[in-house]
Structure 1
């Protein structure tokens, strides 16, 4: 399981360290943190992230969603992971797949430049941990997390467990942020396509080919190396 972070102003934050890789080793802590919107953080909340080593914040939200700022000693990078490609998004919004892992594979294939900008931001970030987030910390954040986990050989079961944490945190997020995160709707959409949250994410993760995506997106060697070594914190992705 990933490591939950107790931060005032966050209810869906976790460090991606401590997760089992295919060779039996664990992912290192203090490299990547995933979270929901950071708008409710006060000085004490930012202090927790700072003490955890965070020095870079990557905001994955659309421009019209972006709010707030970060402390002066942190780098803020705003990158629109969704994009405005209406031909891509219209059918996904119409049938609800946009809020589930059922869109991940198509996004990686058809909009590779969107994730590529995140990869390059991670590769060029200053030393320290990187926190990446969207609104709920669920699916845009989940897509980036899935890619980072697969890139260093995190086991399928561990990656699924990380994804499902957001469902477990939904009530706490609603209480904190004062809005619904549409758990029942997510379940209903997935069921309509013959899936549960677990099966939808598991199927996507199983088929995710990180090396092929790097080639497809035209990502350079230095950025590839930064991702497959988690910014130099692991030697290589285990085989098998």
Structure 2
């Protein structure tokens, strides 16, 4: 499947795509059953119609309530059951620092993290995904919802690259995809989001005086971020299989359901 076919072509959410066609467990992920996306509050009417043709039965929103409150409400077709599974710690200093960067706030209260820079903060978030019990609980809940879905499912966070990217990495790994496949899917966010990210950088510089080079690492899907999560998996659980089974408590039955549903 070409990358163009995987994209849904949504003008208001360009980083929305089907995981179908990616190699997994000696076969490929089935088309039209699992979609990854950014927030859907800027969809056009045409986009909503296009999403409606996917026949979604389930939607997983990985954002915290504080993120949902400041964003345009998702524009959704009729049909999907929405589950809110917040993977976010509003009290964690890394999350508050990144939020301050995104909002153009004064960073003087984040002196330690500021010295390390936004790339360091992003690497810390990816370690949190794996090491934090709260993070693992959220991703485990999401994986069980994917396994139990009765039809096509879509999951998203805000930009569709970090929490959505790691959930995609988990899911593809559970389906038997290798790390090269996972990495290629993760990095595709940079290509499809490039124009939108540049517009965000320009607007934030003009309206709030945010240095683009401070903000740019927050918008990127950097390979070293994904590596940080995988390295944490290897340190804490020995392998991705150990992370799935011990870290996320996904048993043989759940993994079998995922593969039976999603792999041709």
Please name the residue that 1:68 is paired with: 73
Structure 2 counterpart of 1:130, from 133, 153, 161: 153
TM-score in terms of structure 2 length: 0.69
Displacement of 1:59 in angstroms is: 1.0
Q: Which consecutive residues of structure 2, in runs of 5 or more, have no partner in the other structure?
A: 100-112, 205-210
Cα distance in 1 for residues equivalent to 2:174 and 2:153: 16
After superposition, where does 1:92-103 map in structure 2 within 5 Å?
94=113, 95-96=117-118, 100=122, 103=125
Contact 1:108 1:115 in 2 (8 A): no
After superposition, where does 1:3-18 map in structure 2 within 5 Å?
3-18=6-21
Flag the 1:71–1:188 CA change in 2: closer, same or farther, 3 A: closer
Please name the residue that 1:162 is paired with: 185
Q: Which consecutive residues of structure 1, in runs of 5 or more, have no partner in the other structure?
A: 190-195, 236-240
Flag the 1:86–1:174 CA change in 2: closer, same or farther, 3 A: closer
Flag the 1:188–1:83 CA change in 2: closer, same or farther, 3 A: closer
Flag the 1:124–1:97 CA change in 2: closer, same or farther, 3 A: farther
After superposition, where does 1:82-161 map in structure 2 within 5 Å?
82-84=88-90, 86=92, 89=95, 94=113, 95-96=117-118, 100=122, 103-111=125-133, 112-125=136-149, 127-161=150-184
- The one-character-per-residue Cα deviations of 1:130-172 (angstroms, maximum 9, x if unpaired) are 1111111110111111101111121222211111111112333
Cα distance in 1 for residues equivalent to 2:217 and 2:92: 24
Cα distance in 1 for residues equivalent to 2:66 and 2:86: 10
How many residues align structurally? 223
Please name the residue that 2:207 is paired with: none
Secondary structure of the equivalent of 1:131? strand
Whether 1:197 aligns to 2:222 is: yes
Secondary structure of the equivalent of 2:261? coil
Secondary structure of the equivalent of 2:67? coil
Specify which structure has the higher proportion of helix.
2
Cα distance in 2 for residues equivalent to 1:48 and 1:202: 34
Secondary structure of the equivalent of 2:83? strand
Cα distance in 2 for residues equivalent to 1:65 and 1:92: 12
Please name the residue that 2:200 is paired with: 179
Contact 1:61 1:81 in 2 (8 A): yes
Contact 1:214 1:224 in 2 (8 A): no
Cα distance in 1 for residues equivalent to 2:96 and 2:225: 20
Cα distance in 2 for residues equivalent to 1:198 and 1:31: 26
The CA RMSD measured in Å over matched residues stands at 3.4
